[in-house]
Amino acid sequence: MNTEVPLVIQLIQSLSRDIANDSLALPSLPDLATHLQELRATDDLAPRRLADAILGDIATSARLVQIANSAANRRGQTVESVGQAVARLGTEASLNIALSFALEQMFSARSPAIDLYLHQTWRHGRETAAAARVLAEQNTLLNPELAMLAGLLHGIGKLPLLRIVDDRPEIAQDRDALDRLLSSLHPAAGCRVLRAWQLPAAIVDVPADCLDFARSHPGPADYADVVAVALVLGEGLKALADNLDRTAIPAFAKLDIDPRADASSVLDAEALRNSRELVGAV
């Protein structure tokens, strides 16, 4: 008899109550990420102010300059400063790249099993972000940079849950129990995290809505539609996607994409390669 199942059910029930009551312990943003979010809230963000904020973090500064000099963005002279990197990449793209790098540092744990799961979650987020950016640019009037951020953070609800489980070895060592807990709770937890971090209102419901493949709504495509299609086309949900009736997923129609098409025919290869460089998925 598997004694772990009752334990995981108890934990799911307890954490579900915490999420519903808005009492789930949520991770705090790193200092740089907090500063970046404050800058995002400014009506007119000057590139110089953003560059000055990023300069306070050596690793993030180096990463931004590296991306600005990547094959996807190389044009003219070599970028040698954060200010030049922001000018080349654009203010919003630079902000989101810096934010993603700051958040990546949170994806670690003491338990090797949980640490591996967190790293897999982040890698999957980067791949989804790259595809979402391309889809938004090709198939919608949405902001590609915000679509990228939505894709990157669609699984952010796993972070607080895995941090809790990191102190519960009886769950951490059981992959089936872990998968069960996360699939039950991470969408709702993710929405809580994005609201607590004061991310743009247009993407705070993406963690839940992008996994509701039957979701239908009036009007044009939104960020959840973009991320949903990115997930179905990507490798991360291959087992699930293979069992989905794509013709019954309204998000494909919202993006005017043939649901029977494969990723290679939908996503421009060069654009995807460029987006993967932006999110560090190379």
Query: Which pLDDT does position 282 carry in this prediction?
Result: 64
Query: How many Cα atoms sit within 13 Å of 208 on the Cβ side?
Result: 13
Average pLDDT, the chain: 91
Domain boundary among 48, 77, 105: 105
The CATH number assigned to the domain holding 273 equals 1.10.3210.10
149 and 71 in a single domain? The answer is no
Is 18 among the domain residues? no
121 and 237 in a single domain? The answer is yes
Cα–Cα distance, 228 to 209 (Å, whole number): 8
- Which pTM was predicted? 0.91
205 and 75 in a single domain? The answer is no
Higher pLDDT, 19 or 279: 19
Is 17 among the domain residues? no
Cα–Cα distance, 39 to 48 (Å, whole number): 11
- Grade residue 238 by pLDDT with cuts at 50, 70 and 90: low
Domain boundary among 78, 105, 132: 105
134 and 268 in a single domain? The answer is yes
Q: Are 115 and 108 in contact (CB under 8 A)?
A: yes
The per-residue pLDDT for range 67-124, each reduced to its tens digit, is 999 856 667 789 999 999 999 999 999 999 999 999 999 999 999 999 999 999 999 9
Is 3 among the domain residues? no
Q: Are 154 and 104 in contact (CB under 8 A)?
A: no
Distance of CA 243 to the CA centre of its chain: 23
Residue with tokens 């609201």: 195
pLDDT of 1 > 60? The answer is no
Residue with tokens 């959840």: 224
140 and 213 in a single domain? The answer is yes
Higher pLDDT, 261 or 74: 261
281 and 148 in a single domain? The answer is yes
End-to-end CA distance of the chain: 44
The per-residue pLDDT for range 174-213, each reduced to its tens digit, is 889 999 999 999 999 999 999 999 999 999 999 999 999 9
Q: Counting runs of H as helices and runs of E as strands, what totals does the chain give?
A: 17, 0
Measuring CA to CA, how many Å separate 210 from each of 19, 132, 216, 228, 245?
A: 19, 11, 11, 5, 16
Query: Which pLDDT does position 235 carry in this prediction?
Result: 65
Is 2 among the domain residues? no
Q: Are 254 and 224 in contact (CB under 8 A)?
A: no
Domain count, the chain: 2
In 3D, which of 184, 189, 166 has the Cα closest to residue 107?
A: 166
Cα–Cα distance, 184 to 9 (Å, whole number): 10
Lowest model confidence (mean pLDDT) among 115-129, 227-241, 254-268? 227-241
> What domain range is 58 assigned to?
29-105
Query: Which pLDDT does position 244 carry in this prediction?
Result: 85
Buried b or exposed e, range 229-256, using 16+ CB within 10 angstroms = bbbbbbebbeeebeeeebeebbbbebbe
157 and 74 in a single domain? The answer is no
